[in-house]
Structure 1
């Protein structure tokens, strides 16, 4: 559908989105669902047509998480799922560093991010230049960064940790 205004809550849309409705009905009102379900059905149709998958971070809203997310989880887990997927297009519902991580693990795939302004304050708090300066000031000290950093920072660190592998 070329025009989003043509999307309607039809019996076909209702049937196609019923499994998702069952997952979100305690978090989304029926009135909201009547507006969201046609979009969800159309997004899912386009994913099949374009050979795409959507990675939905744990903090996404219920209709995204349950309605269109093919893989759901934390940022590193999503990037790993992107790498295992046979899809040609990866849509990263998240922030820039997540899309970068997905692209690093899936260099031959197209990685898209729906919101070019989606950022992370933690990722913005340090740059690759900052890490190079730390290494210059403290030669030989291993640099460990959290996964919520840019590709530029990851390229300069010795170890990238997550909450799952920090120990």
Structure 2
């Protein structure tokens, strides 16, 4: 796994497959990097496949980073990384960014303990079902038509 230093922040690039065969070795390497107490750790997921074992390793990585007071950010720009993280809702709990530059800036801006993710894929609006009442649409209607003001 190639690593580089960007202004004191360690950037680790994971490429290829991140599945149950490779996740132990990659997780161990990332945990070892945390033990070195860098100013921050950016994990770039440049993968073409990401399995469920990787989805369980990432929250553990975040927990260890918080316990060591090391800033952590995940870069997920490819669909193979974005889709599983969105389907499992990890994009709501992990500090996910679109680029390495954005991730390293977020590590420098915020303290590690208080970091929260506000990431959404570019151009995507909040779910219509969650905001149905606010937007005045019926969450269960087929096309999301505007509700009529009168009786049904």
Structure (1 or 2) with the greater helix fraction: 1
Structure (1 or 2) with the greater strand fraction: 2
TM-score, structure 2 normalization: 0.33
Ranked by relative contact order (alpha carbons within 8 Å, sequence separation 6 or more), the top structure is 2
TM-score, structure 1 normalization: 0.30
